[in-house]
Amino acid sequence: MTASYLPEIFVPLVGLFFPTITMASIFLYIESSESEIQ
């Protein structure tokens, strides 16, 4: 019964936190690669 609250934690974590980190990483990667090209 101790794991019954885990889905309530992982849903916002995976649904909000992970995409935010992914988008930020892609954005920073694109910005750094564009600055190297110029």
pLDDT for res 34: 78
pLDDT for res 38: 58
Residue type, 25: S
- Taking the whole predicted model, whether its pTM rises above 0.75 is answered as no
DSSP string, the chain: -TTTTHHHHHHHIIIIIHHHHHHHHHHHHHHHHHHHH-
pLDDT per residue as tens digits for the range 3-38: 777 788 889 888 999 999 999 999 999 999 877 665
